[in-house]
Structure 1
């Protein structure tokens, strides 16, 4: 007889909602997808339906929800760039619509937890996850749990200030970030940030994939990549000197650039305090499962700061 599921996670993205149910060994027992509605009422209805689907697989399962953005613990209001929920009490409204408690976790924190417990940083302590995609963010796991975050902003690494050295050396302009500040690391370290570096050099609007693929043949693309690596190295050094992680796990679109972990390992070794070790830099292993699996882990093992109840 198949063993009963132990937890479920729902990964809420800008285009799709994916629910996954997990068995005792964290094997995938069931999954289902729905398109993400573009209006708030539709989003609530779709997510409540996803929760009911999880309950139908095994009533009373802990259910976690992984989503981009933040929920302000002081107000309960959501802040997100890819969902029609900013300024809404999304967790509370959803818990009421579903008629049951739900555990909320930022998608980057979900990936970090998934990789620290079951993936590329398994048994590492501390483990840092870093997503290099449309934005830049991550999380910190120690003792198998996410580092407590009373304001829910722990892991928003993309809003560190850029290191001055590479900015000055490469004559980069400070850009306004989506958060409203100028000079956030995300403005150049994200995938769109690599395109901004190339545009600064060439005046052309180029996709990050084009820059990465053409590095070996096009000097301007190679220089854009070198500048990006300079900025990324200083960024990682800040993480290392602050958190001293045993492993840094990379995810997101830019993490798939060939040779990235080797490039960063070599540069970080040269940049750190002389003679001191650096963390292992690894690629995330969970793929599309990381968000839902991390949310399910979060729900099962203690939701901590990001739990909302009906």
Structure 2
């Protein structure tokens, strides 16, 4: 199969560590139906594949021809597999994502890393030479890099994993990947929440609680949020010096907690820039919270499709 007919609707699935978002997307990019459900992240890969299939069925309509999955982890689109993953989703590494979902739904499936899929939606107006840095800060810290108008996959599909850059602010802290001192360990939502408690604040069950405390002047909450923001800003500013991007996008749930976070990130980012880049500033995604699910819906038209009842060999 070379790709679905351009007039046919496609299902886009955005799989994160916390939730699965599904959308039925027309050829014109219009979202025709939506559904969300929690990710059964602690129940194993088979349960996650089952949940993806449930989400797809919830938005599927007559004439739907394919599914695109934007998934957490290091994804190999050609093999349709998860080549590596943190323990955010238990047992996710090694999963035959495309073949498993195609068999469950009866539809061909294309897949890629969630942040790369979202980043592709930002490239349209950058031109053939566009260079982009795209960060997604949520349950984890993901990323994507595009050069010459193309999103880079890199060896083993690992390109763009910005959360695993060394970060001075995370010195001594264990990362979900098993290493020590990576950006994700201080900048992701759960990391900010945990750091607030380490600073002496009351333990919280989620980042939004920390943000609400900061809004009421809690110094521990304020410090945890601004430290995570500064760490992200510094890392992105250094990357900007190395890559010379035309645009830097910061997406995900964490940046949406409010101006305290965003202002600290932008200030730290600007402080790192070399003179030719001094006017560059991070921007929110142009597709808003739909960036990953819309990017997922594009995947069946741009990446190998994996058919039902196969062993994962693309068509």
TM-score, normalised on structure 1?
0.77
2:108 is aligned with 1:93: no
1:21 aligns with 24
Asked whether the 8 Å contact 1:103–1:308 carries over to 2, the reply is: no
- SS class of match (2:146): strand
What CA distance in whole angstroms lies between the structure 1 residues aligned with 2:155 and 2:52? 26
1:67 aligns with 71
What CA distance in whole angstroms lies between the structure 1 residues aligned with 2:8 and 2:167? 44
> Residue deviations 1:23-74, cap 9 Å, x none?
3321123445567665655554554566678775325x34311222233678
CA RMSD of aligned residues (A): 3.5
- SS class of match (1:131): strand
2:293 is aligned with 1:299: no
Which piece of structure 1 moves more, 105-114 or 177-186? 105-114
Highest RCO, 1 vs 2 (Cα 8 Å, sep ≥ 6): 1
Asked whether the 8 Å contact 1:110–1:295 carries over to 2, the reply is: yes
2:150 is aligned with 1:145: yes
Which piece of structure 1 moves more, 223-232 or 45-54? 45-54
1:187 aligns with 185
TM-score, normalised on structure 2?
0.76
Deviation, 1:102, is 1.6
Q: Give the unaligned 5+ runs of structure 2.
A: 1-5, 306-311
Q: Give the unaligned 5+ runs of structure 1.
A: none
Deviation, 1:6, is 5.2
Deviation, 1:292, is 2.1
The one of 125, 134, 148 equivalent to 1:129 is 134
Asked whether the 8 Å contact 1:92–1:309 carries over to 2, the reply is: no
What CA distance in whole angstroms lies between the structure 1 residues aligned with 2:219 and 2:49? 49
Shift in CA distance, 148/43, structure 1 to aligned 2, threshold 3 Å: closer
What CA distance in whole angstroms lies between the structure 2 residues aligned with 1:230 and 1:16? 26
Asked whether the 8 Å contact 1:62–1:300 carries over to 2, the reply is: no
2:117 is aligned with 1:110: yes
Asked whether the 8 Å contact 1:44–1:93 carries over to 2, the reply is: yes
Which piece of structure 1 moves more, 285-294 or 42-51? 42-51
> Residue deviations 1:265-307, cap 9 Å, x none?
3332233224642533112243443222101112213459xx9
> Number of aligned pairs?
294
> Residue deviations 1:241-261, cap 9 Å, x none?
232222222222211132244
Asked whether the 8 Å contact 1:101–1:309 carries over to 2, the reply is: no
Which piece of structure 1 moves more, 253-262 or 48-57? 48-57
